Structures are given as structure tokens and as C-alpha cells.
Amino acid sequence: MKFGITQAFDCSYLPDKKEQLLVCVEPKETLSDIFSQLTQSGFRRSGEQIYRPHCNNCSACQSIRVISRAFSPSKSQKRVLSKNRDIQIKISDHDNPDYYPLYERYINEVHNDGAMFPATYEQYTSFVNCEWNQPLFIEGYIKDELIGVAVTDVLDDGYSALYTFFNPELSARSLGTFFILQQIALCAQQDKAYLYLGYQIDDCRKMNYKKNFYPTERFIHDKWVLSPKNE
């Protein structure tokens, strides 16, 4: 496989840090065949690009995945499921015009201090959609109103949670947790071993929710290692 390394740029998660990415530069027609293999090796998709952090003096980013076959929701996660039992789940394999207005509102109200602000339609499509890969869209509805979407990539051994966005007015429902639980449940229903959650950075407060799903494994020194339960 062929790879390239980006120039160093300001880290999106840790202040005063620089980051570089290792990017797969194989032809698009071959990326779909190697996507699962690369994800199993700590890579992740963003739009058309498959990448992995490749920083000279920092190893804070660790790919993390939930072992779906061994997962059991905690008491707090059971409360989230109970709180949202009125949400109807549907699964689609194509983008929907109703998604972008919800995404735009979510980015501009919830993540207006992040790199994705302000949201634009071009940024949304270049991030979510992919010529060589068709993600799933896990939709949540309350009384026929779309309230959230989890964009999920399909892998040989599981699913990869690309991004979730939802109605900011419903933040008290813990919809981020709710949609992860839906993706884990989908893995279990289809006998898929893992839900990949992207990268965990322990010093980044916004990422620490990923530790709440146990058991998980982290990709450390080119192998998957079981995370301590009390981390």
C-alpha cells in the first residue's frame, strides 16, 4: 500500500501541539477493498480520505473500539435508553435532504468553538459522503420528526461510528450516548465483533465519553490492547 505524510499543522484537540497524518494514497477503486483492513490497523475515514495520526513527539491519539459481543450497558446507559424509548430508529443507506439542516444547527450551536464551525453544505458533504464507500445513516425520530442521525461506516468485522448530530434542544436526553448504544446493538444483532469509535485522547475532555463503553480495546504499538475497566 502507498501512504503519504501531511505537513505539520495545529492540533485540533490539544493546544500548543502540532499534528501530522499518515494518509493512504491508493487509487479510489482499491480503497473500498482495504478500508476494513486499514481500520483494523488504527486508521479512520473522513470524506474520501483514510488517515491515521503520525506525530513525531506525541502518541496521545489511540484508536478505540467497543467489543460488542461482550458489551452490557451500565446503569446510567440503561437510564439513557429508558429516557429515549419514544425514539423510533430507522436505517438508511443514502443521504437525505433533511440531514443537513439538522447538522448545520448542531455544529453552529453545539460546536461553535471547533474546527467544523461554521457549518456549510460543502463541508458536510465532503466530510460524510464518499465516492468509494457507502455509509449507513441511523436515524432517530420522535413523532415523525427527525431528531438525530448517526453516520456509520460498514466494515468486515463491525461498524465505525463516523459522526453523530442531533437537535441541540434535546441535549438533556444524552443523544450522543443513545446513538452509540444503537450502533453497538446493531453490531450485536448482525454478529459483528466491534464498534470503532475513532480516536481517544485522555487529555481531551470532549473525548472522554468513549471510556464509558466497556469493554473496549485500544490500538497501542500496532496491536489491540484491552482497556482497564476502571480507566
Read off the pLDDT of residues 124-179 as tens digits, 9 standing for 90 and up: 999 999 999 999 999 999 999 999 999 999 999 999 999 999 999 999 999 999 99
Q: Which residues contact 92 (CB under 8 A, 6 or more apart)?
A: 136, 137, 139
Residue 106 CA to its chain's centroid (Å): 16
Tell whether domain 64-226 is in CATH 3.40.630.30: yes
The pTM (predicted TM-score) of the whole model is 0.95
DSSP code of residue 9: E
> Computed over its alpha carbons, how large is the radius of gyration of the chain?
17
How many CB atoms lie under 10 A from the CB of residue 148?
Answer: 25
Q: Which residues contact 28 (CB under 8 A, 6 or more apart)?
A: 48, 131, 132
Round the average pLDDT of the chain to a whole number and report it: 95
Q: Where are the domain boundaries for CATH 3.40.630.30 in the chain?
A: 64-226
Mean pLDDT, range 10-21, rounded to an integer: 90
